[in-house]
Amino acid sequence: MSPKASIQAEALALGFDAIRFTEAVLPEATRTRLDAFLESGAHGGMGWMETRREQRAQPRALWPEAVSVIALGLNYGPDYDPLASLEQRDRATISAYAQGRDYHDVVKKRLKALGQWMARHFKGSALKVFVDTAPVMEKPLAAQAGLGWQGKHTNLVSRSHGSWLFLGEIYTTLALEPDAPESDHCGSCRACLDACPTAAFPAPYRLDARRCISYLTIEHHGPIPHEFRRAMGNRIYGCDDCLAVCPWNKFAQASAEMQFAPRGEVAPKLAELALLDDAAFRARFAGSPIKRIGRNRFIRNVLIAIGNSGDTALLPAARALCEDADPAVADAAAWAMEQLTA
């Protein structure tokens, strides 16, 4: 068995759902697109994208010894309709990827296991593993390796798994034959673009993160801009709209990974969430990606959803937070009160 075939077999045995290989080089066009994105300010407050742009744009700028990149995918397809809870206005809509255990932990553990296996079988080689938090252009690398293609919503789309793949990468000094990239199969479809509640796509294949509900609910600090509050609806952590409407999801299967299964109610009650103090928030979301935004941003989002609920029974929950110590929480509580009493 060739080195490439043996690595592929081990990855699948470890539970990865997809694996492809590419050279540790990205085309200049990728750098050009990244520069345009950053120079337009479309990255919003994600300053970390700017500070390490050189390493992000080219794998060997991050690690000069890298020869090949192994791109891996782990299916997190939900076994329920991720948009169904949008109609339950007294409940919260939480992105499918955040319903279970933090994918950083799950994917990195498997990447390390595969890396340890490679270290034993390919003496003298070296490698580094990455999941999301490093300056790595995950989606362009995955597309170049053939895991899928970047759709008009800029996310990866897979012929086999639709929109629902967590990505991870192994940079290695091994010379492994690259796979062919996947061609773009979006055609004339614009379902993802038309589904966006905040018009965050100024053009196909271009995202303005400053308008994206995932950015606003997770990365954005401080008060949510007023122009986006109504459009947020009851989305309190992330947004699946552009992912969920993709026609390629008809080929996707629900994830078999139990760690990605919802840990509680898919759509918890807003009244219940609004009661969480810092300790209760940390306890409830231990091991979840939600924990990383902290109690204050989370409650800010919950209050925007309460304001959009139209349910006056939630007025006491909003009123109780009008004097919160965090200014963004107090601001959102006052806004929710205004909406429910208008």
Q: Which amino acid is at 214?
A: S
Strand pairing category for 127-130 and 93-94: unpaired
Examine the domain organization and report whether 143 and 286 are in the same domain. no
pLDDT tens figures, 231-258? 999 999 999 999 999 999 999 999 999 9
The pLDDT confidence band at residue 342, using thresholds 50, 70 and 90, is confident
Give the span between the Cα atoms of 253 and 163, in whole angstroms.
Answer: 11
Does pLDDT of 214 surpass 90?
A: yes
Residue 196 has a pLDDT of: 98
Residue 5: the pLDDT is 97
* Residue type at 199 in one-letter notation: A
- In this prediction, what percent of the chain has a pLDDT beyond 70? 100
pLDDT digits (tens, 9 = 90+) for 33-64: 999 999 999 999 999 899 999 999 999 999 99
Closest listed residue to residue 306, CA positions, set 272, 255, 276:
272
pLDDT band at 221 (very low <50, low <70, confident <90, very high): very high
pLDDT digits (tens, 9 = 90+) for 139-159: 999 999 999 999 999 999 999
Question: Within a domain: residue 90?
Answer: no
**8 A C-beta contact, residue 336 and residue 306:** yes
Decide: 217 and 58 in contact? Cβ < 8 Å: no
Confidence grade of residue 80 (pLDDT, cut at 50, 70, 90): very high
Residues 6+ positions from 9 with CB-CB distance below 8 Å? 1
- What's the confidence (pLDDT) of residue 339? 98
Which of 140, 172, 204 is the endpoint of a domain?
Answer: 172
Rounded to an integer, what distance in angstroms lies between the CA atom of residue 233 and that of residue 222? 18
Asked whether residue 201 falls in the same domain as residue 120, the answer is no
202 and 105 co-located in one domain: no
Confidence of residue 268 (pLDDT cuts 50, 70, 90): very high
Same structural domain, 158 and 280: no
Residues 166 and 53 in one domain: yes
Asked if 137 and 322 touch (Cβ cutoff 8 Å), the reply is no
The answer to whether residue 183 sits within a structural domain is no
pLDDT value at residue 126: 98
Q: pLDDT by residue (tens digit) across 290-308?
A: 999 999 999 999 999 999 9
Which residues 6+ apart lie within 8 Å of 72 measured at CB?
11, 16, 18, 19, 107, 110, 111, 114, 167, 168, 169, 170
Name the amino acid, one letter, at 73: G
pLDDT for res 18: 98
Considering the domain architecture, whether residues 331 and 205 belong to the same structural domain is answered as yes
Active site residues: 132
- The reply to whether 212 and 125 lie within a common domain is no
Whether residue 132 is found in the same domain as residue 210: no
Task: Report pLDDT digits (tens) over 117-133.
Answer: 999 999 999 999 999 88
> How many folded domains does the chain comprise?
2
Q: d(Cα 340, Cα 335) in Å, to the nearest integer?
A: 9
Judgement on whether residues 209 and 260 belong to the same structural domain of the protein:
yes
SS3 153: coil
Query: Do 158 and 14 reside in the same domain of the chain?
Result: yes
- Statement to judge: residues 18 and 110 lie in one domain: yes
Give residue-wise pLDDT tens across range 163-195: 999 999 999 999 999 999 999 999 999 999 999
75 phi and psi, to 5 degrees? Answer: -70, 130
Query: Residue 316 — very low, low, confident or very high, per pLDDT cuts 50/70/90?
Result: very high
Phi, then psi, of 150 in degrees rounded to 5: -80, 115
Q: Are residues 143 and 205 in the same domain?
A: no
Q: Whole-number mean pLDDT of the chain?
A: 97
Structural domain boundaries enclosing 155: 3-78+98-172
